[in-house]
Chains A and B, each alone.
Chain A
Amino acid sequence: MATKKSSVAFNTLERENLFRNPPKDKSAYPALLAAVQPHIDSFNAITVDGGLLDLAREDIGIKSVFDGTNEKGSLGNKLSLRVDKIYIGKPRLSDHRDKTSLRREIFPSECRERHITYRGKLTVKLGLRINDGPWISQDRELGSIPVMVRSNRCHLENLAPYDLVEHKEESEELGGYFIVNGIEKLIRLLIVARRNHPMAIVRPSFAGRGKSYTQYGVQIRCVRPDQTSQTNVLHYLNDGNVTFRFSWRKNEYLIPVVMILKALIETNDREIFDGLLAAKDRENTFLTDRVELLLRTYKGYQLYTKKETLQHLGEKFRIVMGVASDMSDVDVGKEFLRKIVLVHLQDPRDKFRMMLFMIRKLYALVEGSCTQDNPDAVQHQEVLLGGFLYGMIIKERVEEYLESIVKEVRREVRRTTAFDFSNKEQRTRIFAKVNENIGSALEYFMSTGNLSSPSGLDLQQVSGFTVVAEKINFYRFISHFRMVHRGSFFAQLKTTTVRKLLPESWGFLCPVHTPDGSPCGLLNHLAHKCRITTTISDTSSIRKTLASLGVVSPATASLPSSATMCIQLDGCIIGWCSPKLARVVADTLRYWKVEGSHDIPLDLEIGYIPESRGGQYPGIYIFSQQARMIRPVKYLPLDKEDQIGPFEQPYMSVAVTPPEVVPGESTHVEFDPTNILSIIANMTPFSDFNQSPRNMYQCQMGKQAMGTPGTALRHRSDNKMYRLQTGQTPVVRSPLYNEYGLDNFPNGMNAIVAVISYTGYDMDDAMIMNKSAHERGFGHGTIYKTEKLGWAEEKRRGGPSSNNLFGFINQEEIEEQIDSIHEMGESTDEEKLLKKKAYQSLGIKQEWLETVDLDGLPKIGQLVKAGDAVAVYHEVPKESESRSRFPQNKVFTYKGSEDAYIEEVRLLGVEGNDNKPMQQISVKYRIPRSPNIGDKFSSRHGQKGVLSQKWPTVDMPFTESGMQPDIIINPHAFPSRMTIGMFVESLAGKAGALHGMAQDSTPFRFDEHHTAADYFGHQLKMAGYNYHGNEPMYSGITGEELHADIYIGLVYYQRLRHMVNDKYQVRTTGKISDLTHQPIKGRKKGGGIRVGEMERDSLLAHGTAFLLQDRLLNCSDYTQTWVCRECGSFLSTTPSIKKIGFESQVRCRRCAKPAAGFKAEGMVWEDGNGGQFVGGSNTTVIAVPYVLKYLDVELAAMGIAMKFNIAP
């Protein structure tokens, strides 16, 4: 762990040295690496020798298929398939490409820059056997799968900072994520039910499963050695019966539990009865009645022996299990038990015992002698690690691959009569037909986060498994790896119970660091000292040790009647003892575990649940497997570090601070009370002084700050990146700031802040900035945007490919003539025209050449405005075409609305084909963003505000020593929000700046007797300043002393990424919708902001009728339209055909009558179709909203006429 205790000191020289000479041995910040370790270790676990993929391979077993070509009735030859080995290679250049290259590794930085996926080849060694012949091996390449950075399949594994820098990475590159299409993605940590521990559950929905089902159940999530899981549930029925439920390939099945018991081992009713009920339970008629019923109702099946039962099960589940057709029913039954029932155990006898235990627990729950377990408490939860999930998906895909071969063979056998396994060519044809691209399936999973799986992997969700590791600043980046999600299923739940902060989470999940709003309480972050186990601890000596303590093994024929406490190791019953002995066993085990004796691993979790009246079901539950949360605390008897887990913690007495230790009761004490906070929450100075929601807000805002995403920015091409140009190290920080090396990624600036109401521009959370501070660079930031230009790569080989090329089609011609054309004068209009024509003759425009070089690519460092050319391209002329029909030069333009500089240009080769010319370039723009009025800033205490004025220095207030604040905030920001921590930070910062030292801001360091105000006040006094941090100030405008002393000090300010330039939306006129003629929405399209119903209501309430009309009609879809005054219709009006001597008029067709006989010249009018009419001239023009006309049309379509009364 931590070698030396970090201090808060600035360590400027040390840091500078580290930055100039990155260490060549190991990272200077091991704590940072530890933060992402669970991700990397879990990925490594799948690929190491004997790792999860090997275990998965064994679990998949052998798939077989028959050709059925022999005489009738026979199955024919048997083809068996198995997987002998699964390899994942390191990312390398394909053998078919660039054959002259000697260095064939592809490094992560290249993938980021080229927007491609960092992936290694997946190869499966397939074993084939015909009948009982020998196994033949064959390697099949199944595509390339994304590989985790810094894992054992990455070239950066175990590289020292120096080498990382050499490979264009951060010196503290952490890894733990994947690179998919150039985007860094990671698999979210997910909360799942604790493995191998039966949970008593009361859930009303259980009662809805069928007739006589009740709300009681016992659920266990069994995890196989390869980390795939299968959930088994026991349901209690009204009559006392118990059924076993499981889901297999997304279908649910129910079986009487006695059938499972009888199938597992050769047993009888007596043994089941004895196994369920201990001596003292036999007096309890509640239990005996139910067990009797359980056994008696099962008699109806008339299945007595193990063989009969297995046969019955095998017959029923043959189709479901999809087994080979030559398997006997008994074997299918065995396969069923192996694959579905309590899969964490191998020995059927262990399964039998565990099943009995679960039934007993279920009866205890129903009887009320034990309470339900809370699935929302971390006590019954573990973390599904990304690597394990990845391994599960690979396993399923490989199994699916085998099955698809089987399916293809079957189809082939049916189609052609003479199908022969031994024919190699025919085999190859099968492989060609099977989808062998597992790589693209995994790439799809990583890029979308969607899981497409036939089994559902025993998970409650199908999407949202991956997130983009955004590098807005380093805080945000690092917290992605510490983030634990409860599962998107729970996000839809209306109840808030799953979101509640439970005391069980103490020390494992940070109570502060969760977002507010919809993901609140579902998206948690690990406490910074909490780690997740990724390996199985060695428990080989546990059974022996327990025996030496007097624990009775379950294998012994008779258990003593006092042995009522069950001892389980990872869901396997390993012993029984009396309640009295249990306490001794648990205490002794713990002592030995911390001591390191008796071969008991330190990270073993010993959950001792004592007997209670109606409490949790008692027993000793020992856990040693992966995916458990674990954290260090000090074990008092030995004064050594102990690792404790969330299952055991509720039954332990852990004092928070040494003075809180209760002699005789406390066994442990926290190393530091701040251990319960996440990395980000620990960065809030003096958070114990703040109102709690403010600390939550800061955890959000710290992640939105425009900071330093990294130091290797030149080698990145993120879509959008924020960078603070003038970042500083905070004067006030905690030692963890140094431990995590956050000085490499400054996140804000130290500002002199005066709390004063000055000028009124600081109202309502606005802040005033000193204009000179702004000019000195305070808060200056930059946005980098990367845009890919060019043509999408062809999807499939042989598909249509683009025939475009970058560059001028007539580059040589231009190069020859351009200088002379440039020199042409343009003093007169004629000369200008001449020059324009000269450019035109070359097929280019003059302004293109200002931003584009002669190679057709953008000039680096060039300022571009909206509409400027950034790259020139042309179509490749076909040989047959004549010079006159030659394709023209075309341009890609800069589409952003803000002026930007061309920062970098990358030429991207076509992936997978060396001979094709470049089809894509990637352009990185740099947009400078100096602080602007309307930009958002925040201190580290959830005190956000917008910049309202850049006030001239001369008009800012000043102190007696002539200091002027950088920032002015309004005192009203404090009373209701109670962020006292900000006051303390101001005080501490001021004292720190005056004495030239860093200040420790760790929470829980001060108390009533030793107050922060006194501590820092004393320091201020020593520096000759006011003890309380107030100072007399003078108005910058009048020069008079202000009536009150002003609280002024130094606070670390963050500039948040929300800036007006990205948000402002104005419109007078502009685009309208075709259908309604109303303004369109959307900032990008130049749309308006809707004046909605509520806005309308308020305008009405204000009585501002004209304003309302202006908004809703005049500025929206004001239209003038003809209407017939008589019949009141819009739609019947029609313009008459213009005749000589007469104006065209709009007449009403409905009110008009066909002209019959002779009529005066002026009376008859003609419509467009040649019909002649008389009358209908009583029409007029009115102003209406256009949608009204549209409504009329829609209604007319339904046969409804609208009539308007026109007056006057």
Chain B
Amino acid sequence: MSTVGTLVFCSDCGNLLDSVTGTDRLECEMCGTVTKDPGNKTVTTQSAPSAFPSALRLKKSAVQSLATEDIQTEAEIKQTCPECGREKMWFYTLQLRSADEGATVFYRCECGYRFNTNN
């Protein structure tokens, strides 16, 4: 067999033959052997299920993916915003300095005001 899908190989030397020549004769440019063009073949291409994700199906799935910005990493704390006076703020901590020092606390207010403290 010298045909795999749309590929036609020279039956003699295994060289890949041109796909379209206009005639039904495919001549190998290497050894000159003439192979008959098997003609049009149907090729079915299947895309992976993940290629075109359906938003609807995704909702039903047991696995839900979240965008990084949607992940709630902040917690609420009783802290008055110095800018607008709201009594609760969001905060998260990061260990920015040496491990034997305290974490840096980043506060965020609904009004958009942000500040951080080291302790």
CB distance from B98 to the nearest CB of A (A): 6
With A285-B43, A696-B99 as given contacts, are A292 and B50 in contact (CB-CB < 8 Å)? no
| Cβ contact of B4, chosen from A268, A288, A368, cutoff 8 A | A288
A692 closest partner in B (C-beta): B99
CB distance from B71 to the nearest CB of A (A): 19
Query: By the criterion CB–CB under 8 Å, are B99 and A292 in contact?
Result: no
| Cβ contact of B15, chosen from A269, A282, A286, A517, cutoff 8 A | A269
Cβ-based interface call for B75 (8 A) = no
CA distance in complex: A368, B50 (Å): 10
CA distance in complex: A622, B99 (Å): 40
A517 closest partner in B (C-beta): B98
Chain A interface size, as a band, is 20 to 34
Cβ-based interface call for B73 (8 A) = no
Cβ-based interface call for B30 (8 A) = yes
CA distance in complex: A283, B48 (Å): 13
CB distance from A992 to the nearest CB of B (A): 29
| Cβ contact of A273, chosen from B7, B30, B48, cutoff 8 A | B7
CA distance in complex: A282, B10 (Å): 18
Cβ-based interface call for A454 (8 A) = no
Cβ-based interface call for A296 (8 A) = yes
CA distance in complex: A299, B30 (Å): 11
**Hey, which chain B residues are within 8 Å of A942, CB to CB?**
100
Query: By the criterion CB–CB under 8 Å, are B9 and A273 in contact?
Result: yes
Cβ-based interface call for B46 (8 A) = yes
**Hey, which chain A residues are within 8 Å of B9, CB to CB?**
268-270, 273
| Cβ contact of A288, chosen from B7, B13, B99, cutoff 8 A | B7
With A270-B9, A285-B46, A693-B100 as given contacts, are A304 and B4 in contact (CB-CB < 8 Å)? no
Query: By the criterion CB–CB under 8 Å, are B99 and A270 in contact?
Result: no
CA distance in complex: A271, B9 (Å): 10
| Cβ contact of B5, chosen from A270, A282, A295, cutoff 8 A | A282
**Hey, which chain B residues are within 8 Å of A517, CB to CB?**
98
B102 closest partner in A (C-beta): A976
CB distance from A706 to the nearest CB of B (A): 22
CB distance from B86 to the nearest CB of A (A): 30
Query: By the criterion CB–CB under 8 Å, are A516 and B99 in contact?
Result: yes
Cβ-based interface call for A697 (8 A) = yes
CA distance in complex: A942, B100 (Å): 10
Which chain B residues in 69-119 approach chain A with CB under 8 Å?
A: 98-100
**Hey, which chain A residues are within 8 Å of B14, CB to CB?**
268-271
Q: Mark B1-39, 1 if CB is under 8 A from A, else 0.
A: 010111101100111100000000000001000000000
**Hey, which chain B residues are within 8 Å of A304, CB to CB?**
15, 30
CB distance from A823 to the nearest CB of B (A): 65
Q: Mark A262-291, 1 if CB is under 8 A from B, else 0.
A: 000000111101000000001101101000
Cβ-based interface call for B54 (8 A) = no
With A269-B9, A288-B4 as given contacts, are A296 and B100 in contact (CB-CB < 8 Å)? no
**Hey, which chain A residues are within 8 Å of B13, CB to CB?**
268
A694 closest partner in B (C-beta): B100
Chain B interface size, as a band, is 20 to 34
**Hey, which chain A residues are within 8 Å of B7, CB to CB?**
273, 288, 292, 295
Number of residue pairs across A and B with beta carbons under 8 Å?
Answer: 55
A304 closest partner in B (C-beta): B30
CB distance from B66 to the nearest CB of A (A): 19
Query: By the criterion CB–CB under 8 Å, are B16 and A296 in contact?
Result: yes
CB distance from A301 to the nearest CB of B (A): 12
With A269-B9, A273-B9, A696-B99 as given contacts, are A295 and B16 in contact (CB-CB < 8 Å)? yes
Query: By the criterion CB–CB under 8 Å, are B15 and A268 in contact?
Result: yes
CB distance from B21 to the nearest CB of A (A): 14
Query: By the criterion CB–CB under 8 Å, are B99 and A693 in contact?
Result: yes
Q: Mark A355-374, 1 if CB is under 8 A from B, else 0.
A: 00000000000011000000
CB distance from B118 to the nearest CB of A (A): 15
**Hey, which chain B residues are within 8 Å of A697, CB to CB?**
100
CA distance in complex: A243, B71 (Å): 40
Cβ-based interface call for B45 (8 A) = yes
Query: By the criterion CB–CB under 8 Å, are B48 and A368 in contact?
Result: yes
Q: Mark B34-76, 1 if CB is under 8 A from A, else 0.
A: 0000000001111010100000000000000000000000000
Query: By the criterion CB–CB under 8 Å, are A285 and B16 in contact?
Result: no
CA distance in complex: A521, B8 (Å): 54
With A269-B16, A270-B14, A295-B16 as given contacts, are A285 and B5 in contact (CB-CB < 8 Å)? yes
**Hey, which chain A residues are within 8 Å of B5, CB to CB?**
282, 285, 288, 292
CB distance from B7 to the nearest CB of A (A): 5
With A285-B43, A304-B30, A697-B100 as given contacts, are A273 and B4 in contact (CB-CB < 8 Å)? yes
**Hey, which chain A residues are within 8 Å of B10, CB to CB?**
268, 270
**Hey, which chain A residues are within 8 Å of B30, CB to CB?**
304
CA distance in complex: A697, B16 (Å): 65
CA distance in complex: A268, B7 (Å): 14
A942 closest partner in B (C-beta): B100
CB distance from B73 to the nearest CB of A (A): 18
**Hey, which chain A residues are within 8 Å of B98, CB to CB?**
516-517
Which chain A residues in 651-696 approach chain B with CB under 8 Å?
A: 693, 696
CB distance from A283 to the nearest CB of B (A): 8
CB distance from A293 to the nearest CB of B (A): 11
CB distance from B80 to the nearest CB of A (A): 25
**Hey, which chain B residues are within 8 Å of A295, CB to CB?**
7, 16
CA distance in complex: A269, B14 (Å): 6
CA distance in complex: A304, B4 (Å): 21
Query: By the criterion CB–CB under 8 Å, are B45 and A285 in contact?
Result: yes
CB distance from B35 to the nearest CB of A (A): 12
CB distance from A518 to the nearest CB of B (A): 12
Query: By the criterion CB–CB under 8 Å, are A282 and B4 in contact?
Result: yes
| Cβ contact of A299, chosen from B4, B16, B100, cutoff 8 A | B16
**Hey, which chain A residues are within 8 Å of B2, CB to CB?**
270
**Hey, which chain A residues are within 8 Å of B16, CB to CB?**
269-270, 273, 292, 295-296, 299
**Hey, which chain B residues are within 8 Å of A516, CB to CB?**
98-99
CA distance in complex: A295, B10 (Å): 13
CB distance from A496 to the nearest CB of B (A): 12
CA distance in complex: A368, B48 (Å): 10
CA distance in complex: A977, B98 (Å): 13
B44 closest partner in A (C-beta): A285
**Hey, which chain A residues are within 8 Å of B15, CB to CB?**
268-270, 304
CA distance in complex: A693, B2 (Å): 66
CB distance from A425 to the nearest CB of B (A): 57
B45 closest partner in A (C-beta): A285
CA distance in complex: A579, B9 (Å): 30
A283 closest partner in B (C-beta): B46
Q: Mark A503-536, 1 if CB is under 8 A from B, else 0.
A: 0000000000000110000000000000000000
A977 closest partner in B (C-beta): B100
CB distance from A514 to the nearest CB of B (A): 11
**Hey, which chain B residues are within 8 Å of A271, CB to CB?**
14
CA distance in complex: A269, B17 (Å): 9
CA distance in complex: A697, B15 (Å): 66
CA distance in complex: A1032, B75 (Å): 46
**Hey, which chain B residues are within 8 Å of A368, CB to CB?**
48, 50
CB distance from A273 to the nearest CB of B (A): 7
B30 closest partner in A (C-beta): A304
**Hey, which chain A residues are within 8 Å of B44, CB to CB?**
285
Q: Mark A304-322, 1 if CB is under 8 A from B, else 0.
A: 1000000000000000000
CA distance in complex: A517, B100 (Å): 12
CA distance in complex: A697, B45 (Å): 59
CA distance in complex: A674, B19 (Å): 65
17 additional A-B pairs beyond A292-B5, A368-B50, beta carbons within 8 Å, are A268-B9, A268-B10, A268-B14, A269-B14, A282-B4, A282-B5, A285-B5, A285-B43, A285-B44, A285-B45, A288-B7, A292-B6, A296-B16, A299-B16, A693-B99, A697-B100, A977-B100
* 8 closest cross-chain pairs (CB), A and B: A270-B14, A268-B14, A269-B16, A693-B99, A285-B45, A270-B9, A295-B16, A304-B30
For this complex, 8 residue pairs linking A to B, each with C-beta atoms less than 8 Å apart, are: A268-B15, A269-B16, A285-B46, A288-B5, A288-B6, A288-B7, A304-B15, A697-B100
